């Protein structure tokens, strides 16, 4: 029997390692199944009138002004984003500033200064975000990190307990081959120090120059960023079920673009629905030809993007579809030529980048972050009860179904790499399995955090932390 390289062998679904740590006996998770995009229900606590009152109650309760825009500085160029952002920032202030400051004095000068500094930071971040090349970030940098994550998991799964990787647990094995230096020696103080140093260096470029010499302001903002925001957010999203729900949100966003036509699963084995096929072709051509942004950054070499290496590794195209893989490789020189490459860049800009630079999407992300940190818009909510095995599998199945919806939306391409529904099931199961270990998830999140920081603040590149 011929040997299969570790990275070429898929992870059997029956051997998935579900890490449900800190599970409470008979505890029921507050799980809600993902609703379809056409049935989204807006909670009363997320409506503009409610948020206006929440902001007023926190920032200017004694004022006659009811419009926050007349009383507070703009955080960004979007009023929709500002509404969500002030709601989140207000709750953070209420919990970590008002609780002790109001016992000392009624003077609001310090609070007003903190609000002004926060507004300066958010406007600075918005300016920097607009300069980020989203094509490079989402189709090259992030897929490269995901590919490393996938390969590390497969290597550990293949070699765990062997003479090549004689560790007793997956966590120990991961420390040897895929460990971020913030997690060295499994010491929480090292991780905390890393976040503090990172926050200090970030604030060095985001704070107003006049406040860089203020130790009080610097230490306060550093504590808020490292101890409150980053630490809490990281600890929440490393949970496997949280990763799955983030994936589901991303899938729903992709499917919702241009209406997201539903495709029946039994149509996968052929182009039975001719109308759907031709409509996808026409849509693809129109997005390829149309130039949506004449001021966009210089075109990137699409075929050099890491997304293709990641997809090849995920679907094992070079093993399962060798002819297709050889054909794609042979067309690379042609596709790299300027005319073809420009058309591919148009397609990326019109299908992905244009949608992501959407203020409604950013507002939705901030809203979900607020609801996660402050479920009742009062005290910071307790950690979510870890789902039991049955509930975890429900969340997992929902995520898998959402990934299938993405494949169905891009059926024209997915039919080339997936032969059957069972093959798709196995591939998606293998992919989701890689997120079922909290320690590996934390490594992944820290690498993505480093990437985002460097993209937003390139001045930090190469700096010794």
Query: Is the model's pLDDT at 12 over the cut of 80?
Result: no
Largest Cα span, the chain: 80
In a domain, 238, yes or no: yes
d(CA 146, CA 160): 21
DSSP for residue 185: G
Dump pLDDT digits (tens) for 320-348.
888 888 888 888 777 677 777 777 777 77
Spatial CA neighbour of 325 closest among 341, 309, 340, 344: 309
| 62, 171: one domain | no
d(CA 156, CA 171): 10
**Residue 19, pLDDT score:** 42
Supply the mean pLDDT for the chain.
79
d(CA 265, CA 262): 9
**Residue 191, pLDDT score:** 92
What global pTM score does this model have?
0.79
Last residue of a domain, one of 125, 141, 170: 125
Dump pLDDT digits (tens) for 265-291.
444 444 455 555 545 554 555 555 555
Yes or no: say if 303 and 140 are a contact pair by the CB < 8 Å rule: no
Residues in CB range of 459: below 8 A, 6 or more apart? 205
Last residue of a domain, one of 91, 125, 159: 125
Measured in degrees and rounded to the nearest 5, phi and psi for residue 165 equal -145, 75
| 215, 81: one domain | no
Domain count, the chain: 2
What is the band of 75 on the pLDDT scale with cuts at 50, 70, 90? very high
In a domain, 263, yes or no: no
d(CA 430, CA 287): 32
Last residue of a domain, one of 78, 99, 125: 125
| 229, 350: one domain | yes
**Residue 464, pLDDT score:** 59
């Amino acid at each position: 029997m011929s040997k299969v390289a570790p990275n070429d062998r898929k992870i059997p679904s029956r051997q998935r390692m579900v890490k449900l740590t800190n599970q409470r006996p008979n505890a029921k998770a507050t799980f809600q199944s993902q609703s379809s995009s056409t049935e989204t229900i807006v909670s009363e606590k997320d409506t503009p009138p409610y948020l206006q009152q929440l902001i007023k109650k926190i920032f200017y309760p004694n004022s006659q002004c009811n419009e926050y825009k007349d009383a507070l500085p703009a955080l960004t160029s979007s009023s929709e984003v500002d509404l969500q952002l002030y709601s989140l920032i207000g709750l953070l202030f209420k919990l970590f500033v008002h609780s002790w400051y109001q016992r000392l004095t009624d003077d609001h000068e310090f609070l007003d200064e903190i609000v002004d500094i926060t507004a300066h930071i958010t406007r600075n971040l918005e300016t920097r975000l607009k300069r980020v090349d989203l094509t490079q970030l989402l189709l090259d940098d992030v897929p490269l990190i995901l590919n490393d994550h996938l390969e590390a998991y497969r290597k550990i799964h293949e070699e765990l307990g062997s003479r090549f990787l004689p560790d007793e647990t997956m966590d120990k094995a991961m420390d040897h081959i895929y460990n971020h230096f913030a997690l060295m020696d499994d010491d929480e103080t090292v991780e905390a120090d890393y976040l503090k140093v990172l926050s200090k260096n970030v604030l060095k470029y985001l704070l107003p120059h006049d406040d860089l010499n203020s130790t009080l302001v610097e230490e306060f903002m550093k504590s808020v960023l490292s101890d409150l925001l980053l630490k809490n957010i990281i600890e929440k999203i490393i949970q496997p079920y949280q990763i799955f729900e983030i994936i589901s949100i991303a899938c729903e966003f992709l499917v919702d673009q241009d209406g997201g036509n539903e495709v029946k699963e039994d149509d996968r084995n052929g182009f039975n629905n001719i109308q759907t096929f031709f409509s996808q072709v026409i849509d693809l051509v129109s997005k390829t030809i149309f130039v949506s942004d004449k001021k966009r950054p210089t075109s990137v070499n699409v075929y050099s993007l890491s997304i293709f290496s990641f997809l090849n590794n995920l679907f094992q195209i070079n093993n399962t579809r060798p002819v297709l893989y050889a054909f794609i490789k042979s067309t690379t020189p042609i596709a790299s030529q300027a005319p073809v490459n420009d058309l591919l860049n148009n397609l990326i800009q019109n299908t992905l980048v244009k949608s992501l630079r959407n203020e409604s999407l950013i507002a939705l992300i901030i809203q979900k972050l607020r609801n996660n940190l402050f479920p009742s818009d009062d005290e910071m909510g307790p950690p979510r009860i870890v789902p039991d095995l049955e509930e975890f599998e429900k969340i997992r199945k929902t995520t898998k179904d959402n990934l299938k919806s993405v494949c169905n939306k891009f059926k024209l391409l997915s039919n080339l790499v997936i032969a059957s529904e069972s093959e798709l099931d196995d591939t998606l199961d293998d992919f989701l399995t890689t997120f079922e270990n909290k320690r590996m998830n934390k490594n992944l999140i820290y690498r993505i955090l480093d990437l985002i920081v460097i993209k937003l603040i390139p001045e930090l590149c190469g700096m010794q932390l």
